[in-house]
Structure 1
Amino acid sequence: MGVGKLLVSSSHDPAPPPADPSGNPNGNGFTLDDVDRKILLELQNDGRRAFRDIARQLDISEATVRWRVKRLRDARVLQILGYVDPRALGYGSMMVLLIKVTPTAHARAVEELTSWRETTWVSTTVGRTNIYVQMLCKDSESLYHVLSASLGEIDGIIDIEMLQEVKVHKAEYLYTVLD
């Protein structure tokens, strides 16, 4: 995956988009039309592509592309960023934690987990566990420190399942639902 790929929505945003009272499945106040989807597909393939090239490809004006991209970014549907392969930088310990905490400890546990430098994704889940965490550590020593010291500081943990990734077969953020 190269630089400038597209991420549609992100749990790393400081606040979620406002609730949509119309019941829109996107939950962000508007519905994507065909032009929005085509623009998103073009940016997903190359997030650094010039608006004029996208406009030419879609047979619309550059101003239309610029306005729609701004609208999608403002609504937090679209975030354009560079993807860095952590393995290329020497981060070899990738871990998934499935954590079950008491309901009263959930908010505090999420707050603590999101503050860690090593966490790359934290989300609330339903099922056997109620928190999903992706972690990235440089080596087994830093992984051990996080798991033994930092994780032990979180109150209300009932159960933890740890899954260490030993080989990545696909690492791609292309959302085929846009097709």
Structure 2
Amino acid sequence: MSRIGKKPVPVPSGVTATINGQTVSVKGPKGELSFVLNEFVLAEMTEEGIKIDPRGTTKTARSMWGMSRTMVENIITGVHAGFEKKLEITGVGYRAQIQGQNLQLALGFSHDVLFPIPEGIDIKCPKPTEITISGIDKQSVGQVAAEIRDFRPPEPYKGKGVRYAGEFIVRKEGKKK
């Protein structure tokens, strides 16, 4: 039995959720999202929220059960509160700034890296060494953060590069004489 899947997903006030067949649509103050459930699970509205149940006891149905519940919870949280990821830039001369619809990154290359900001994602640079990525879709916020980090991941000797806020980098010792 899935411990996550058994719990109903509560729908907060100010958010409306509708179930049409296998599609769960959610509308809230930040926007509107929908998710198409797999055919192995069934969704229904109750007074406690949205309840997800497996169709049958097959391994595939049970594995889709918890994942589907988490996806529904993520779209409800996204339209209600939104998601945010913070990145930190470490290194001499490494910096970031917003330039129109692009994020301009100086990461020690011979050229600046221009990253086009995707639709539905908001990127801010409160300091030249900090990047804040926010949006209503958890998957796209995480994907954009991973793509930006991928330009210059933190290296283990000096720790220079782009890292998630709070990420611990295992440091290595340099060469000995």
What is the TM-score of this pair, normalised by structure 2? 0.30
Higher helix share: 1
Larger Rg: 2
Higher strand share: 2
Which structure exhibits the higher relative contact order, with contacts defined as CA atoms closer than 8 Å and separated by 6 or more residues? 1
What is the TM-score of this pair, normalised by structure 1? 0.29
